[in-house]
Amino acid sequence: MDRTATFNEFLREKGLKNTSQRMLILEAFLNSDSHYSTEDLYLKLRQENPKIGYATVHRTLKLLAESGLAIELNFGDGQARFEPVHEAEHHDHLVCTKCGLIIEFEEPRIETLQNEVAKRYNFKIQSHRHELYGLCQDCAKKA
């Protein structure tokens, strides 16, 4: 299932409608390689489609984030940015030191920060390990 279909299914499940604006915004967003703020994407869309509204772009980006197709990033410049979530997202682990339970987690924002760190040192990442060790919910309760 491609991402347009994924989004359509998301809309259907939520009882929302598939509109031409949403499709335009989705397409523009998916074809981006950078991190768009609402403003950025709005201005880009305006070039082709002068009657699209800022509020619609904003609302659609929120929906995309909710559907999992986008993640919302905050670099602390007071402007939210949205990034497409790519397939093959990998996960990291929480490991319980008492019972051995392993929980997989995904946190794209950590990935972003890793990339930022690597960039800081002109380092080219090939892979990574990231494990959090501690007590799971049950073991913490018993302790």
Asked if 34 is part of the footprint of a second copy (rule: CB under 8 A), the reply reads: no
Are the beta carbons of 106 and 89 closer than 8 angstroms?
A: yes
Asked if 113 is part of the footprint of a second copy (rule: CB under 8 A), the reply reads: yes
Cα(102)–Cα(99) distance, rounded to whole angstroms?
9
Are the beta carbons of 88 and 41 closer than 8 angstroms?
A: no
Task: Out of 59, 85, 108, 139, name the contact with DNA by CB under 7 A.
Answer: 59
- Taking CB under 7 A as the binding criterion, the range among 26-34, 56-64, 98-106, 133-141 that sits at the site for DNA is 56-64
Nearest residue to 90 via CA among 117, 130, 57: 130
Asked if 74 is part of the footprint of a second copy (rule: CB under 8 A), the reply reads: yes
Are the beta carbons of 106 and 91 closer than 8 angstroms?
A: yes
Report in angstroms how near the CB of residue 57 gets to DNA at its nearest. 7
Binding stretches for DNA (CB under 7 A): 11-12, 15-22, 37-39, 51-56, 58-60, 62, 78-80
